[in-house]
Amino acid sequence: MTRILFYLDEPGAEIWQPAFEAAIPGLDFRTYPDWGNPDDGPAYVFAWEPELGLIAKYPNIKAIFSLGAGVDHLTRDPDLPTDIPIIRMSDDGLKEGMAEFVVMTVLMHQRYMPRMLASQRKKKWRRLFPPLARDVRVGILGYGALGEYCAQALKPLGYQIAAWSRTGKTPENGVEHYTGSSEFQAFLKRTDILVGLLPSTPETTNLLNKTTMAMMPKYASIINAGRGTLINLDDMVALLDSGHLSAATLDVFVEEPLDKDSPLWQHDKIIITPHIASITRPDTAAQYVASNIKRIEEGLQPANVLDRSKGY
């Protein structure tokens, strides 16, 4: 019998159990704090932001599934056993949701919607004439499964698409690839709308700062749907205020929820969304977890295992 130890400290968590029981017949699904005894037998953890030290108390865990695409909510635990594989979420629902968000926000930035909203708040009738999609250079910062899916969704609209990643990618039609630190500046210089999808690692923390964002063309804009650590927000605001950057849409922050006293809420050039760019959906997530558990039980390598040396 497969046993899953589930942790999600949010209202509505009960919707997950039926989805998992439908995907895995005979499942023993246990929601925290009713995980049972640590010696109850082998189990898999499916969690988001579990209590520090909790997972280490259960020595029979075979793998940990992150409920979302990020894994820093797990790796921040100093007691997390290093020999347990961590599997990143990459189900179809997550990818589809992220692609929808990116298409929506790229279109909004291309059509100057942040400026339109600012004018609306001031009751100002201000006509703007945005460029066509074919004249706009979109840059996807981070080209894993989510980034690739977003690029495929953007292609039919005609944007000039480029992607930057730490390691080389297979050449493809419609996407210009940049790789490594040596090509990062060139990527920024050709990007009018930047879409941040990078994970949180020491190398990506404050990767977008005063120096790097100033490399982008004048009036460029930024969409961050990856991790909040990517951007130095003080530097970004300074570039927005100076007019070098035209707009930003921020879905993720270092501390969430964003403090009510943050000046970001009132900034005319910033749109804030509450970490909803892509939400893990019970039906597709359960199928994804079930397929990976099957691979593990058959002695195969599961998909999307975290490389702890890289942080993704």
List the catalytic residues: 227, 275
**What's the token pair of residue 192?**
């009018």
Strand partners of residue 137: 160
**Number of alpha helices (DSSP H) and beta strands (DSSP E) in the chain:** 9, 12
- State how far the Cα of 88 lies from the Cα of 46, in Å rounded to an integer: 10
Measure CA 282 to chain center. 17
**Helix boundaries (H) for 194-281:** 210-213, 233-242
The DSSP output letter for 197 is: -
Where b means 16+ CB within 10 Å and e means fewer, 158-190 reads ebbbbbbbbeebeeeeebebbbeeeebeebbee
User: What spatial distance separates the first Cα and last Cα of the chain, rounded to whole Å?
Assistant: 30
- State how far the Cα of 162 lies from the Cα of 150, in Å rounded to an integer: 11
- State how far the Cα of 289 lies from the Cα of 105, in Å rounded to an integer: 30
Strand partners of residue 86: 64
With H, G, I as helix, E, B as strand and everything else as coil, classify residue 5. strand
- State how far the Cα of 5 lies from the Cα of 20, in Å rounded to an integer: 11
Is residue 140 a contact partner of residue 163, using CB atoms and an 8 Å limit? yes
